[in-house]
Amino acid sequence: MLMAGGGIEDISRVILLNTLTEYQATMDAIRDNATISAADRVDMLARLGDSFSKCIAAGKRVLPETSELAIALEVVKLLGDLIGTRFPKHLPAYLEMLDAMGDEVKRKYG
């Protein structure tokens, strides 16, 4: 039995929601730790983005809306990689903006 009154789609949504929650918590931890160097932040963000992308890819067949989410996340990851590589002094500002964007996304999409 998958879930009472639900199915694989419900389980996928719960997993995705939990992953998003952990993603946000990790982003907050990276942002709030001033002792992490810019290079380490870039590395952490790349690994975090990779893990999240893999989670999205696994659920893509089950939830059609995850395809759009995966593309959006990839764009955010690519931008973070670009900023970390070419404009590392701007990485803290990017992380601050990304956190604020997370709040806006929560407000709009719940």
Decide if pLDDT at 3 tops 60.
no
Residue 105's pLDDT band, with cuts at 50, 70 and 90, is confident
Residue type at position 29: A
Domain assignments of the chain as residue spans, ordered by start:
8-109
Prediction pTM value = 0.47
Helix pair angle (8-32, 91-109), 10° resolution = 150
Tokens coding 70 = 């995966």
Q: What is the pLDDT of residue 79?
A: 92
Distance CA 109, CA 20 (A): 13
Q: How far is CA 84 from CA 22, 44, 77, 79, in A?
A: 22, 11, 10, 8
Decide if pLDDT at 64 tops 70.
no
C-alpha triplet 48, 59, 20: angle, nearest 5° = 40
Q: How confident is the model over 67-72, as a mean pLDDT?
A: 74
Residue 110's pLDDT band, with cuts at 50, 70 and 90, is low
